[in-house]
Amino acid sequence: MISIKFSRTVVHGLLAAGALCLTCTLAASGQVQTSTTATHGNATKEVKVERGEVLLVEGNDLFVKMEDGAIRHFPNIPDSDQITVDGKSLGIHDLKPGMKLQRTVTITTTPKTVTTVQSVTGKVFHVSAPNSVILTLDDGTNQSFKIP
């Protein structure tokens, strides 16, 4: 008799656990599934050469007259930065008005397309606008979605 009671208890426990797993699985299937993918395009490089003449060095600020006539302010240049002029490595405080400067700027751009897809299973409960819908999900709850 004891072994039969024990067996029934074990069977009832297993059935309850199975029902709980089935309930969780059904609830999870009614949720919104989201997947995101990212694809990278071909990288492009743009090389630009800027030339100018030192107008003024004030503290760690550098003022340069650019080739196109514009005055550019380069603020807070660290003392550790080195600028090569006529093959010599100079710090900000070594620059003098009239010195010619040139820098090459390389900009690399890699386009990235990110796509997010949401999938949901449900019945249409209400359409509230041309781009909004309320669905009744498999678990019986209602959820609103904006459609782009």
pLDDT at position 87, please? 82
Q: Kindly state whether residues 63 and 97 are assigned to the same domain.
A: yes
Task: Measure the CA–CA gap between 109 and 131, rounded to whole angstroms.
Answer: 34
Q: What does the block give as tokens for 98? A: 């009239």
Question: Could you give the number of structural domains in the chain?
Answer: 3
Distance CA 70, CA 58 (A): 18
Give the tens place of pLDDT for each residue, 23-41: 433 344 446 788 999 999 9
Which position has the higher pLDDT, 62 or 28? 62
Same-domain status, 13 and 62: no
Q: Could you report the per-residue pLDDT of 125-140, keeping only the tens digit for each? A: 988 878 898 888 888 8
For residues 54 and 88, state if they share a domain: yes
Q: What's the domain range around 139?
A: 31-39+113-148
Q: Which two tokens stand for residue 118?
A: 């949401």
Characterize 74-104 residue by residue with b for buried, 16 or more Cβ atoms within 10 angstroms of its Cβ, and e for exposed. eeebeeeeebebeeeeeebeebeeebebeee
* 56 and 98 belong to one structural domain: yes
My answer on whether 35 and 25 are in the same domain is no
pTM: 0.48
